[in-house]
Amino acid sequence: MRSFFLTSTAFLVISAALAFFLGSGWYILFAIVLVLTILGYYDLFQTKHTIMRNYPVFGRLRYVLEELRPKMYQYFIESDIDGRPFNRIDRSTVYQRAKGVRDTIPFGTQLDLYAEGYEWLCHTMSPKPFDTIDHDPRIMIGNKDCQQPYSASILNISAMSFGALSENAVRALSAGAKIGNFAHNTGEGGLSHHHLEEGGDLIWQIGTAYFGCRDEDGRFDPVLFAEKSKHPNVKMIELKISQGAKPGHGGILPAEKNTEEIAKIRHIKPFTKVSSPPYHTAFDSPLGMVKFIQELRSLSGGKPVGFKLCIGYKSEFISVCQAMIELDIYPDFIAVDGGEGGTGAAPPEFSNYVGGPLLDSLDFVHNILNGLDIRKHIKIIASGKVTSAFHVARAIALGADACYQARGMMISLGCIQALMCNTNQCPTGITTQDPKLTRGLVPEDKKVRVANYHATTLKNFAELLGATGVTETSNLKRSHIYRRVSLNSMITYEEIFPSIKVGSMLNNDIPEKYKLDFQFADRTQWGLHP
């Protein structure tokens, strides 16, 4: 303190003398020194920040540099291949395809083909002509109980709610989906007029808080759901059990993002922090969950209904499958979300350490459905860091019928991976409700980029199919994908994730790795596990 007192006093006297004797221009220097001195004394006497207290004024530089660090690292330090969560190569590919500019790369790959974990698609010496392959592959979603099946693109926009996203971002995504004839998942924040006004196909997600179809006590309101679900733009219903970025936690909407408009759509109080419950109150068992799916299908007029989950206890998923078989009721689709999935806000422990990764989870879900001979009733949608045609091909080879994209679609809108989604200060106007920031995002321009990115990704997917020698997505197999496991060893996905014969588990031919999970499966209750 004594040294700061002496130093600041000396600078004040010198700058005052210069201003007095040399002219008014030096008063600027005096004003700067005075402000810094006041800041210094504030730092000395405040008690919350040790560094500022010990190093007045200069200690503040730590916080400035900490704020600038992510930006400096992204632009000046990271290479094209080591950025996280998405490297610059993947981000640039999305930008280029969204803008309709050159998306080829020169001189060769920057990836290390001899590094453990490198993956590639096996090609044939007799590839198929690209122009003979469907550039808009689709799947029909809807089983025996569905009265309004939906022809879906194999690539759709994943769940991102209005609230997590801005009005302009939602409008741009929905309008882009309309142009490209693919679907936009509303996320758990409810069905807003911003989704509906653009006329695109929608997947209405119903989360644990039942936003948009809840009563005053926060419980599911069947009358309200029936009314909204019958809107012609709503093509499917998705029951959210959990999401990869924070399974078992429930959604989080910061108070500053919960505007009066968003609160009205969700049927909640505005400007309050909203934390969705981690569990559903409409059912309390696997049997109850399957019955609820049937109720949603009936209330919606027979539209396809599925559920989204991140795999945790495998015994619980098996329990749900056993409930399906007992009741002879099956969801029309299951969305498998990997632990690498994104979110606007989540505790780091949940994002980093809870939830099964996509590839392992996709293998498990596909195998169990196949082994119990119920895969024929259910389509699988894969979600988790899907940004390129290769990612789509890999997921389909492993068992998916289609894919969701969230952050890839955000990047097509102009997301720069600023990692500020949870602050309401997104510089690109995507994940903020601040009108000063959202005005920068123009839906009329960005909707075209969304559609371009979708179309170009599927075009490249078709070309990948041709390179493998197949013309149908259903012909992609696990044996088409290779992974390097050591410097001199390469194995296929079929070797890593062995397939299960259809119906094999009905004859009690259960692989050793699943036996304990089957023993603990109980369709009448949750929570039993090895």
DSSP structure string for 141-183: E--TT-SS-EEEESEEEPP--BTTB-HHHHHHHHHHHHHHT-E
Q: Cβ contacts of residue 459 below 8 Å, gap of 6+?
A: 135
Mean pLDDT of 269-295: 92
pLDDT tens string 47-61: 888 888 888 888 888
On the question of pLDDT at 274 being above 80, the answer is no
On the question of pLDDT at 23 being above 80, the answer is no
Asked if residue 443 has a cis previous peptide bond (ω within 30° of 0), the answer is no
Q: Which of 178-192, 283-297, 332-346, 464-478 has the lowest mean pLDDT?
A: 332-346
Amino acid letter, 329: I
3-state secondary structure (DSSP) of residue 101: coil
Number of C-beta neighbours around residue 105 at 10 A: 13
Residues 291-323: b if buried by 16+ CB within 10 A, e if exposed? bbbebbbebbeebbbbbbbbbbbbbbbbbbbbb
Count Cβ atoms within 10 A of the Cβ of residue 204 and give its class: 0-12 exposed, 13-18 middle, 19 or more buried: buried
Name the band, by pLDDT with cuts 50, 70 and 90, for residue 507: confident
The whole-angstrom separation of Cα 85 and Cα 407 is 10
> β-strands 138-141, 333-337: how paired?
unpaired
On the question of pLDDT at 79 being above 80, the answer is no
Does 515 or 19 have the greater pLDDT score?
515
Number of C-beta neighbours around residue 240 at 10 A: 23
pLDDT at 436: 93
3-state secondary structure (DSSP) of residue 375: helix
Count Cβ atoms within 10 A of the Cβ of residue 459 and give its class: 0-12 exposed, 13-18 middle, 19 or more buried: middle
Structure tokens of 288? 């109850």
Question: What value does the mean pLDDT of the chain take?
Answer: 91
* Eight-state DSSP code of residue 220: B
pLDDT tens string 299-354: 999 999 999 999 999 999 999 999 999 999 999 999 999 998 888 778 888 888 89
The whole-angstrom separation of Cα 264 and Cα 482 is 50
Amino acid letter, 383: S
Q: Which of 225-229, 420-424, 468-472 has the lowest mean pLDDT?
A: 420-424
The whole-angstrom separation of Cα 173 and Cα 288 is 34
Q: Which residue matches tokens 């499966």?
A: 521
The whole-angstrom separation of Cα 290 and Cα 306 is 10
pLDDT at 219: 94
3-state secondary structure (DSSP) of residue 138: strand
Q: Which residue matches tokens 């996905």?
A: 493
Class of domain 131-467+506-520: alpha beta
On the question of pLDDT at 25 being above 90, the answer is no
Contact in structure between 190 and 211 (CB atoms under 8 Å)? yes
Question: Residues for the chain: how many in total?
Answer: 530
Mean pLDDT of 150-174: 95
Name the band, by pLDDT with cuts 50, 70 and 90, for residue 287: very high
The whole-angstrom separation of Cα 142 and Cα 401 is 13
- The pLDDT > 70 percentage for the chain reads 99
Structure tokens of 24? 């008014």
The whole-angstrom separation of Cα 530 and Cα 523 is 15
Helix 286-299 vs helix 314-327: crossing angle, to nearest 10: 60
Number of C-beta neighbours around residue 94 at 10 A: 26
Nearest Cα neighbor of 235 from 304, 145, 180, 310 is 304
Nearest Cα neighbor of 4 from 50, 55, 49 is 55
On the question of pLDDT at 20 being above 90, the answer is no
* Eight-state DSSP code of residue 108: S
pLDDT at 418: 85
- DSSP secondary structure string for all residues of 228-260: HHTSTTEEEEEEES--TTSTTT--EE-GGG--H
pLDDT tens string 410-466: 999 999 888 888 888 999 999 999 999 999 999 999 999 999 999 999 999 999 999
Contact in structure between 119 and 147 (CB atoms under 8 Å)? no
Please tell me the number of Cα atoms within 13 Å of 287 on its side-chain side.
Answer: 6
On the question of pLDDT at 468 being above 80, the answer is yes
Contact in structure between 412 and 450 (CB atoms under 8 Å)? yes
Q: Which residue matches tokens 């808080």?
A: 209
Q: Residue 66: which H helix or E strand, with range?
A: helix 60-72
Can you state the percent helix, strand and coil of the chain, rounding each to 5?
A: 45, 15, 40
- Write out the residue limits of the CATH 3.20.20.70 domain(s) in the chain: 131-467+506-520
pLDDT at 133: 93
pLDDT tens string 367-421: 999 999 999 999 999 999 999 999 999 999 999 999 999 999 999 999 988 888 8
Q: pTM of this prediction?
A: 0.89
Contact in structure between 225 and 296 (CB atoms under 8 Å)? yes
SS (H, E, C) 191-209: CCHHHHHCCCEEEEEECCC
> β-strands 489-492, 481-486: how paired?
antiparallel
Number of C-beta neighbours around residue 247 at 10 A: 22
